[in-house]
Structure 1
C-alpha cells in the first residue's frame, strides 16, 4: 500500500499534481484542493447510509454495508471512471477525508483496472490543517504593505502589474463592494481559504521579500479572510494611490458597466444578457438604499435606468452621472471618514508610477 505523508503536502499542492477526491459529492462541494476532481467511492446516499450504520452498529457493519452498496455494476462504473481519468493523468494521487478506509479500498480497486496510485496520509483533513497553518505562518513572517485609495483609483489594476502581490478579490471572485458581484459565483469559504494558502506558498517559494495586498474589509462578498491574517493587515502600513476623479469615473464605468454587461451578454445572449445585467446593477443600487436615503436612492436609480436606455443607443453619459454622484455623496465621504481613523498607518501617497517605484525600492531594502 503506497502512501504519501505530510512531508509531501507542499510539493503536491505547488506542483499542480492532479488529485482524485474520493469523498462523496456533498463533501467535495463544501471545499476541496486546487487541481482536484471528484471521483467518489460512494455517492451521497450511499455515504449517508454507511455513516448511519457506523453510528448504530459499528465499523465492521458499516464496511459490510459499503461493500453491498458498491459492488457489481456500480463498482465497475466507478472503476472505469477512475481508469479514464488515470489514463489521461497517470501521475494523479488519491485522497479521502482522513486517508483511511475509502482511500485503501479505492486504491485496491484502481489496481484491479491497471493503475497503481498512492493516496495521501491524513487525507483532506490533514492537508487542510497544513494549509491553514501555512497561511498563519507566512502572513506572520512576511513584511506586508496594504494598498488603499478611493473607489475607482485602480487598486486591482495596480496590483496586477506586480510580482509580489496576491489578488484577494480575484481569489474571492468579487470586487469587494456593493457593486462587486461577478457574473460567476464566488467560491465556497473553504475553497477560497485553500487557494489563498496555496498562493501564499507560491509567493514564499518565489522568494518574494514582501507581500502587497489590497486594503480589504474582512468580508469580500460572502467569503471572509482568515481572522489572524486580516488582523495583521489592519496593523500593516498603508500605501495610498491618488488618482483624479475623472479617471476614477472612467475606470468604474469600465469595470462595473461595460465589462459586466459584456460578460452577461457572452453568457446569456444579447437580450437576456442585457436584461440580467440591468437587474445586476439595480440590485446593487438597492443594497445601499438605507445608506443613501430613500430620495437619493430613487433619484440615482432613475438615472441608472436612463443609463440603460442610453447605453443601447451608444451613450454612457447617464451612467457616468450616477457613478460620479455615488462617489461624491457616498463612497468618498465614507472613505475619508475611515481614513481618518487610520492616518497613523499611512506611510506613502502617490500616483500609480510613484507607488510602484516606492514599493520596488522597499523590496530591495
Structure 2
C-alpha cells in the first residue's frame, strides 16, 4: 500500500535518502509550475483532462469517472513501466493530492511499486514556498556584484557556482537576463517557478557564512524578487567591477549571441530606440541590420545603458564595499575569488 506524507515529513525524509518527485498532472499544468526537479508522468493528457472535465460538468461525476477509467486502462502497461524504470523512492503528487495522485499511487502499489503520496499536492508545496519566503530570516551575509552592463556578472557567478561557492544565480532562476533583450534565447519563468527555484537554492546554501548574487532590480523578466532578498541586497556588501568598454562589448556578444537571434534583437531594440537620440538610434539599427553587432553594442552602452547605470555614494550607504578595476572577466573572477576566499576558511 502507498503511504501518505505531509510536505514536512517528505522534506525530512529527503535529507536521509534520494527521492524522485513525480508530477502526475497534465503537461500544461506541469509546464506552468511544479516542484523543482520533478518528472512529469501525466495520468491524463491536456486533451483527456479537458474531455473528462466537460463530462463532469455536463453529464455527471460518475460518467467522468468511467471515462477516466477507460483512458487509464488503455495506457496502464506503459504508465506502470515508466514508473518502474525510476530508481529512487517515488513521491507522487497532483494539484491538491486528490484523485489523480491517489489513483496513481494505488495502481503502483498493486504492482508492488513503493510510493509516497504528497498530502495536499502541489498546492501545499506552493503555499509552503510563499509562506517561507515571506517569513524567513536569512542569515548568510550577502555580497552583491555591481557593475555596468557587460562586465560578465553572470559569467562570474556561473564559474563560482561550478566551483562550489554559495551563489544565487537570479537570472538563471528567472530565465531572463534582466534587460529589454534579456528574454531572447531563453525560456522566461513565471513567478511560481522563480519562487520555488529561489527558495530551494536559498535553503541549499543557508548554512554558508555568506551568499553571492548580482545586483538585480526588483523585477527580472516576469519574476519579482521577494522582500527577504531585496533586504539582503540593500544591506549586502557591494563588490563593484570596472572593465574597459571593449572587453564588455566582447562579453555581451558572447552572452547574447546576436547572430543567432538577429530579428528578435532588432525588434527588441525598436522598443527602446525612442529613448535614444534619434541619429544615434538610427545608426544602431543600421549597424544591427548590417550584422555589425560590436559597433551597435558599443553605441548602446555609450548612449543608453551606461547613462542609466549611474552609481552614487548613497547607493552603498555606510558600507562602500570594494571595487576591482580589471581588464576582462577572467581577472574579475580571480579578484572576486581572492577577495572572498578568507570567508571560506
Report the TM range for the smaller structure's normalisation.
Answer: 0.7 to 0.9
Structure 2 CA distance for partners of 1:251 and 1:43, relative to 1, 3 Å: closer
Please say if residues 176 and 216 of structure 1, whose CA atoms lie closer than 8 Å, have aligned partners that are also in contact.
Answer: yes
User: 2:297 aligns to what SS in structure 1?
Assistant: helix
> Deviation string for 1:42-92 (max 9, x for gaps)?
4446655766788899xxx63x344212123x1223433431222210422
Q: Choose from 148, 168, 171 the match for 2:170.
A: 168
- The residue number in structure 2 matching 1:319 is 293
RMSD (CA atoms): 2.9
- 1:194 to partner: Cα distance: 1.4
Q: Would you say 1:108 and 2:106 are equivalent positions?
A: yes
Provide the C-alpha distance between the structure 1 equivalents of 2:105 and 2:285, rounded to a whole number of angstroms.
59
Q: Which residue of 1 aligns with 2:192?
A: 190
Residue 333, structure 1, aligned to residue 307, structure 2: yes
In the alignment, what sits opposite 1:93? 91
Counterpart residue number, 2:329: none
Instruction: Give the superposition deviation at 1:34.
Output: 2.0
Q: Check whether the contact 2:189–2:222 (CA below 8 A) recurs between aligned residues.
A: no
1:361 matches 2:342: yes
Deviation at 1:12, TM superposition (A): 4.0
Specify which of 196, 202, 206 is matched with residue 200 of structure 1. Answer: 202
Give the CA deviation at 1:225.
2.2
Contact preservation (8 Å) 2:147, 2:240:
yes
- The Cα of 1:327 is off from its aligned counterpart by 1.4
Classify the secondary structure of the residue corresponding to 1:320. Answer: helix
In the superposition, the TM-score normalised over structure 1's length comes to 0.79
Closer/same/farther in 2, CA of residues 38 and 158 from structure 1, 3 Å limit = closer
Match of 2:151 among 126, 150, 153: 153
Does the aligned pair in 1 maintain the 2:35–2:196 contact within 8 Å?
A: yes
For residue 213 of structure 1, report the CA deviation from its aligned partner. 0.7
For structure 2, the residue ranges without an aligned partner over 5 or more in a row are: 326-331
1:225 equivalent in structure 2:
225
Judged with a 3 Å threshold, the aligned counterparts in structure 2 of structure 1 residues 321 and 75 are, in CA distance, closer, same or farther, namely: closer
1:243-282 equivalent positions in 2, closer than 5 A: 243-257=243-257, 260-261=258-259, 264=260, 277-282=261-266
Higher helix share: 1
Q: Secondary structure at the match of 1:287?
A: coil
Distance 2:133 2:15 in 1: 14
Give the unaligned 5+ runs of structure 1.
Answer: 265-276, 309-317
Judge conservation of contact 2:167–2:213 (CA < 8 Å) in 1. yes
Q: Which of 15, 20, 23 is the aligned partner of 1:21?
A: 23
Q: What is the TM-score normalised by the length of structure 2?
A: 0.83
Q: 1:52 to 1:320 in 2, by over 3 A?
A: closer
8 A contact 2:240–2:324 mirrored in 1: yes
